Amino acid sequence: MDVKRREIRQGELAFMSEDRGEAPTSGSGGTEASAAERWTESPAKAASMMEAICSRENLTKALRQVKGNRGSPGIDGMTVRQLPGYRVRQWPALREQLLAGAYRPQPVRRVEIPKPDGGVRKLGIPTVLDRFIQQAVMQVLQGQWDPTFSEHSYGFRPGRSAHQAVAQAQTHVAEGYRWVVDIDLEKFFDRVNHDRLMAAVAKRMEDKRLLKLIRAFLNAGVMEDGLVSPTDEGTPQGGPLSPLLSNLVLDELDRELSKRGHRFVRYADDCNIYVRSERAGRRVMEGIERFINRKRKLKVNAAKSAVARPWERSFLGFTFTGKGEPKRLIAAKALERFRTKVRELTRRTRGISVRAMVAQLARYLRGWQNYFGFCESPWTLRDLGGWVRRRLRCFQWKQWKRGRRRFAGLVACGASRPDAANAAGNSRGPWHVSRTRILQSVLSETFWSHLGVPSFTMS
């Protein structure tokens, strides 16, 4: 009995201690060649990677990350909230399976979400337990691999962001590289060759148990409509390990581009190469397309790839001005998606209170502002802010419904009784009334700010 209690207690300690460490950061300084040497390890250290993955500190961090990410259950229905209790009971057995190379992940649950530009993106949602183990594996591998990746790669890497990628692209344009080879890989996450991927993984480590585990995650299968289908290619989006593996696959492309001396920026499977002329761009497109098709067994999406001026294309939701010093602008498609989402949230027939609607809208606006506030076009943000407030005034006017309530509402917001009476008797539609002086005065930016609507400013 004492032995059993001790094992359970050890399982608890393996997860419940607070880890105050930070996520690993990418290496700085040095050439890519010297960085590549850093991941070469001694066989003894490489063979003990599974022990590092199962360490208390690493597992504590992984559990905290999975809980913070929340997410939907996998095919077994286990929720994130149920994971801590399950791991206390089952961890000794799970740890034994991992260290013996005998763990078998379950199939992922297929989920389809609409893409902003049409179509659907297929996600594979692993079980919560498999997400936890993937997260633990990813943390150890990322700490070793990330310093070896290209300085021109920005997606899914600690200490790097989409904003940094856009700023680097802007620098290339400012330096006179005013043509872009915009490469889009067709269904990249669905077409990664498992054998080539595992060969790349095997070059970086020697722990056969971990190689077997990664292969098992790749081949776990997909459950869709109650049926499990095998997976012989691709890295399903939805698991913590997939982004790291995708960067490993595309690291060879990064090295090829660097070897050829190109100026480029890559974020996940979006890659922009900057050149000085259209002729050079077409030559680069042909050469890189051959490399991708033959060496990586992937395919360039001809419909979405092009050689064009940077201000004619969008990169991560941004574009640039075409004259003088390039400035960051919000791409037209991103603006249209914003307007569509705001129209949906402020639809006057939603049947919810103004406060409830504003709370939902404010969450979306804050996230949007945090990302697109990186633009250098204050006039765009000013116009969008005015348009959003007009939508809000329409919603409020519709909520008040009739003349008496509109009169009382305007007076309560600070309007004079004559002005309130005049506005309440206006028979025009909400969109017209929302632009009148009285509504703009009482339902002002300050009014909406007090309710939690953020102001639009550049970050």
pLDDT digits (tens, 9 = 90+) for 295-331: 777 889 888 999 999 999 999 999 999 988 999 999 9
**Residue 41 or 136, more confident:** 136
At residue 240, the 3 state secondary structure works out as coil
Looking at the DSSP assignment, which residues form a beta bridge with residue 144?
Answer: none
pLDDT tens readout for residues 242-291: 999 999 999 999 999 999 999 999 999 899 999 999 999 999 999 999 99
The Cα-based distances of 49 to 137, 152, 246 in angstroms read 9, 28, 20
Looking at the DSSP assignment, which residues form a beta bridge with residue 180?
Answer: 274, 308
Residue 97: phi, psi to the nearest 5? -65, -45
At residue 409, the 3 state secondary structure works out as helix
CB atoms within 10 A of CB 156: 18
**Residue 277 or 351, more confident:** 277
Query: E strand or H helix at 108, and its extent?
Result: strand 108-114
**Residue 260 or 30, more confident:** 260
pLDDT at 230: 67
Separation CA 65–CA 53 (nearest Å): 15
Whether the per-residue pLDDT at 33 is higher than 60: the answer is: no
Ranges 186-195, 202-211, 446-455: which has the least confidence: 186-195
**88 and 12 in contact (C-beta within 8 Å)?**
yes
Separation CA 397–CA 395 (nearest Å): 6
pLDDT at 153: 97
pLDDT at 400: 93
Whether the per-residue pLDDT at 437 is higher than 60: the answer is: yes
pLDDT at 12: 40
pLDDT at 234: 73
pLDDT at 191: 79
pLDDT tens readout for residues 12-28: 433 433 333 333 333 33
Confidence of residue 11 (pLDDT cuts 50, 70, 90): very low
Confidence of residue 375 (pLDDT cuts 50, 70, 90): very high
pLDDT at 70: 87
At residue 179, the 3 state secondary structure works out as strand
pLDDT at 131: 95
pLDDT at 408: 95
Whether the per-residue pLDDT at 108 is higher than 70: the answer is: yes
**Residue 220 or 344, more confident:** 344
pLDDT tens readout for residues 161-191: 999 999 999 999 999 999 999 999 888 887 7
pLDDT at 42: 46
Please give the model's pTM, rounded to 2 decimal places.
Answer: 0.84
Confidence of residue 35 (pLDDT cuts 50, 70, 90): very low
At residue 292, the 3 state secondary structure works out as helix
**99 and 136 in contact (C-beta within 8 Å)?**
no
pLDDT at 3: 40
CB atoms within 10 A of CB 305: 19
Confidence of residue 238 (pLDDT cuts 50, 70, 90): confident
Separation CA 365–CA 459 (nearest Å): 14
Confidence of residue 45 (pLDDT cuts 50, 70, 90): low
Separation CA 396–CA 177 (nearest Å): 49
Whether the per-residue pLDDT at 41 is higher than 60: the answer is: no
Per the prediction, the chain carries an average pLDDT of 86
pLDDT tens readout for residues 66-93: 999 988 899 999 999 999 898 888 889 9
**215 and 101 in contact (C-beta within 8 Å)?**
no
pLDDT at 117: 67
Percent of the chain topping pLDDT 70 = 88
The Cα-based distances of 449 to 74, 237, 381, 384, 415 in angstroms read 40, 38, 16, 15, 18
Confidence of residue 418 (pLDDT cuts 50, 70, 90): very high
pLDDT at 265: 97
